[in-house]
Amino acid sequence: MDRFKRLLALIFFVLIGASLTGAQSHDNAWTQSCDPRLQKALEKRINALKLDGAAEHKNLSIVVVDITDVSEPRMAYVNPNEMMYAASLPKIAILLGAFEKIAAGEMTLDDETLDKLKQMIRRSSNSAASEMLDRVGIDYLADLLQSPRYRLYDPEGHGGIWVGKEYGKAPARKRDPLHNLSHGATALQVARFYYLLETGQLVSPQLSHLMKAILAETEIEHKFVKGLKTVQPDSEIYRKSGTWGPYHSDSAIIEHDGRRYIAVALAKSRHGEQWLQKLIVALDEVVCQTETNQN
């Protein structure tokens, strides 16, 4: 039955893929400025959570993008270009690399590969991530992330998403050029990843939909997921998080009650887990209440 459902889903993705191509001109516009009302609401809640000190010392990075109208995204942020160690969050880059290989006919999307990708994202399996990275290739992935098409890592700017080693005890093979990180990210480039995904610009519209489906049904219910359960238990969440020592990160597309937004947060603190649980509730309010006030 599971194979049958997957087959139907793939057929569905092919049929609806063309509907998203009109959104592809909006990537450049939303990365340039923030929405004043959304920004004011975000800063107010950061202060209320007593996280303004963490933000000031660049131990907290946040980007929230209201994409309820995907053609007119509204963004607010704190330290959006601060590159931090992001642990398992950059596994989303391996997912992108795998689907680029699949689209090029250099990898087959068979049941075993699909299962490995789901384990890597939903369970955050390090062994599955390392196996998929080996199949994709570290050098190939680095070039892909820096490519003019995606610009998810900018070596002449602030960096971005980076994967420079397998997930395990082996030493880093290719640290990022700017910050010497093995697994790093900026909140802004992670948010761009999700925007490109939502608008069908990662690989192809069809494969963007399939990648988004893999990001659903997380098996790790902490941080954003745990926080949202207290206020919006029926939310649809497409996400990837990361944890290592004091580094805590989470990222997601969140949908509920006709609203849709991207939320990304990177934190360096032993309290980071608790910060992110509370922060997602605040971000949900920033998007939903600000939109209500505008209406």
Sheet holding 60-66, edge to edge: 74-78, 60-66, 259-268, 247-256, 236-244
The larger pLDDT score, comparing residue 292 to residue 48, is at 48
Residue of 241, 228, 234, 233 lying closest to 283 (CA atoms)? 228
Domain of 213, in residue numbers: 29-294
- Residue 193: other Cβ atoms inside 10 A: 29
Q: Calculate mean pLDDT across residues 268-276.
A: 97
Mean confidence (pLDDT) of the chain: 90
Assess whether pLDDT exceeds 50 at residue 214. yes
Q: Is 4 part of a structural domain of the chain? A: no
Q: How far is CA 186 from CA 161, 163, 292, in A?
A: 6, 13, 29
CATH at 96: 3.40.710.10
Query: How many structural domains comprise the chain?
Result: 1
pLDDT digits 0-9 by tens, 34-71: 899 999 999 999 999 999 999 999 999 999 999 999 99
Q: Is 235 part of a structural domain of the chain? A: yes
Q: Calculate mean pLDDT across residues 86-95.
A: 98
d(CA 107, CA 103): 8
Q: How confident is the model at residue 291 (pLDDT cuts 50, 70, 90)?
A: low
Assess whether pLDDT exceeds 70 at residue 15. no
Give the pLDDT confidence score for residue 16 in this predicted structure.
34
**Rg of the Cα atoms in the chain:** 18
Give the pLDDT confidence score for residue 32 in this predicted structure.
54
Q: Is 229 part of a structural domain of the chain? A: yes
Query: Is the pTM value of this prediction over 0.85?
Result: yes
Q: Is 8 part of a structural domain of the chain? A: no
User: Among residues of the chain, what percentage have pLDDT more than 90?
Assistant: 84
Assess whether pLDDT exceeds 60 at residue 14. no
Give the pLDDT confidence score for residue 27 in this predicted structure.
58
Q: What is the DSSP code string of 159-225? A: EE-EE-S-SSSSPPSS--TTT--SEEE-HHHHHHHHHHHHTT-SS-HHHHHHHHHHTSS-S---THH
pLDDT digits 0-9 by tens, 151-187: 999 999 999 999 999 998 888 889 999 999 999 999 9
Q: Is 264 part of a structural domain of the chain? A: yes
Q: Is 19 part of a structural domain of the chain? A: no
Q: Is 12 part of a structural domain of the chain? A: no
Q: Is 258 part of a structural domain of the chain? A: yes
Name which of 27-41, 214-228, 240-254 the model is least confident about. Answer: 27-41
